[in-house]
Copies of this chain bind each other. A is one copy, B any other.
Amino acid sequence: MEKKLFEKKISSKKIFTGKIIELYLDEVELPNDKVVTREKVKHPGAVGIVPLNREGKIILVKQFRYPTNSALLEIPAGKLGKNENAADCARRELKEEIGAVGGKIIHLTTFYTSPGFCDEILYLYLAIGFERKENNPDEDEFLDIVELKMKDSLAYINSGKIKDAKTIIGILLSRDYLNLI
């Protein structure tokens, strides 16, 4: 990598270890040789899945998101378990959150949610052809299931009713797959 676009780690200090994240305060050397501190949140990574059913509806979950102090409409999603494969995690979350089993999952894209301070990477999938069973969320997970037509979900993005990054990307990228269902 060219020196102009690289920051060299000088030291690293762990500030916090939580259930979800770790926080580090590192010293780095900039391309101009100046040393500055960087705040880095370490995250295990996550998956999000757009479940598109046979009627062309997207199945979303509404759940309270404490940091935002509000309930958000989102695609099913979850953190990667230790050593868990992203596609396996997608299958697990689909079953737990909306009771979707079987069918196909298709990788849409993979992205960083907020690379300025955090290493969280999100693996995004589309699920089609699944069957619906009873869902079984975690004991401490509370959610409502909301089914939305693709057209309405696009309107929800434009009106701000959907305001979660992975959900917006998932819906926008899934439009190209409507012919598969």
Q: Which residues of A contact B (CB under 8 A)?
A: 1, 4-7, 15-16, 18-21, 23, 25-26, 28, 30-32, 34, 36-43, 46, 62-68, 71-72, 74, 79, 109-120, 122, 139-140, 142-144, 157-158, 160, 163-166, 168-169, 172-173
Q: A-B pairs with the 4 shortest C-beta distances?
A: A65-B115, A113-B114, A5-B71, A172-B172
The answer to whether A20 and B43 have CB atoms under 8 Å apart is no
Q: How far is the CA of A38 from the CA of B37 in the complex (A)?
A: 26
Known: A23-B23, A43-B117, A111-B165. A71 touches B142 (CB 8 A): no
Known: A64-B5, A72-B112, A144-B5. A41 touches B21 (CB 8 A): yes
Q: Which residue of B lies closest to A115 (CB)?
A: B65
Known: A28-B66, A67-B115, A158-B109. A18 touches B5 (CB 8 A): no
The answer to whether B172 and A36 have CB atoms under 8 Å apart is no
The answer to whether B20 and A168 have CB atoms under 8 Å apart is no
Q: Among B114, B172, B173, which residue has its beta carbon within 8 angstroms of that of A114?
A: B114
The answer to whether A30 and B142 have CB atoms under 8 Å apart is yes
A-B contact pairs, 24 of them (CB 8 A): A1-B71, A5-B143, A5-B144, A6-B71, A15-B16, A21-B39, A23-B23, A26-B66, A30-B142, A34-B140, A38-B67, A41-B67, A65-B116, A68-B112, A68-B115, A72-B112, A79-B116, A109-B157, A110-B163, A111-B168, A122-B165, A157-B173, A172-B172, A172-B173
The answer to whether B4 and A164 have CB atoms under 8 Å apart is no
Known: A5-B64, A114-B120, A142-B5. A19 touches B39 (CB 8 A): yes
